[in-house]
Amino acid sequence: MYSVTAKNSPELHDGQPIYGPADSVASLSGKDAFANLGNLIAFEAKQSLFWEGDAAEYIYKVMRGVICLYKLLPDGRRQVARFCCAGDLLGLGQRATFQYTADTVTPVTLLRIRRADLEVELESNTCLRNELLAAVSDELRAAQDQLVLLGRKSAIERVASFIEAMAEQTLRRGGDARTVDLPMTRVDIADYLGLTHETVCRAFSQLKAQRILDIHDHHVVEIRQRDTLADIAAGDSAERLCA
């Protein structure tokens, strides 16, 4: 489980900390097409990696921990676009600047790859090219699902969808599908789901009251009725299930 409450060590801010270079990645991820292109760097929780509009000199691969990508409106309203976990790539796209701001949610280890180096490698490396296209395509598909969630789902449906998605991710990483780790705060979740943190809270409470969830810790929930949760998440017969 993640240590969410790690403090902002003043001596380690804004990405200075550097691990051993290049090939020490192998120990973390097995063989990785990206490993020999970049360096590992580490960040504490709750730090900024980059801001929307920054020159995108690097792209990143998350090796460990969770990162939150978001955009801000002028008056401070925030929309979280994505939570990036181990294996995810950040900073793709062909723009010279980042399209969103990135903060760490937990302590994080990143593989940092110079964009220019990547582009050279892409010329010859078909496998890498495919992996990259797959990453962008997956990101697009996830964004389209999120459009449906934000445009058409109710608060309870959004929260149920989120928990289900996090559970699936846990499962893919070989974890227990019933115990779900939620390292981010309620505010982060709210900004991801287009709700307020109070509304997210009430949805959690409601799912707990209906015995669909158990909430051990604020950041660890257990799914007790996976089918019902899935039905709510899918937007199916909400009136019956949420009565």
Binding site for DNA (CB under 7 A): 3, 5, 7, 46, 154-156, 185-187, 194-199, 201-202, 204-205, 215, 217-219
Decide: residue 79, CB within 10 A, 0-12 exposed, 13-18 middle, 19+ buried: middle
Answer yes or no: are the C-beta atoms of 96 and 59 closer than 8 Å. no
What residues numbered 128-157 form the site for a copy of itself, per CB under 8 A? 129, 132-134, 136-137, 139-141, 143-144, 146-148, 150-153
Residue 93 within binding range of a copy of itself, rule CB under 8 A: yes
198 binds, among DNA, a copy of itself, none (CB under 5 to 8 A by kind): DNA
* C-alpha to C-alpha distance for 112 and 92, rounded to whole angstroms: 12
User: Residue 218: CB partners within 8 Å, gap ≥ 6?
Assistant: 182, 186
Strands across the sheet containing 101-104: 48-50, 101-104, 67-72, 78-84
187 binds, among DNA, a copy of itself, none (CB under 5 to 8 A by kind): DNA
- Our CB check for a copy of itself shows the closer of 129 and 202 to be 129
Interface positions with a copy of itself (CB under 8 A): 71, 73-75, 77-79, 81, 92-95, 99-100, 129, 132-134, 136-137, 139-141, 143-144, 146-148, 150-153, 191, 193-194, 234-238
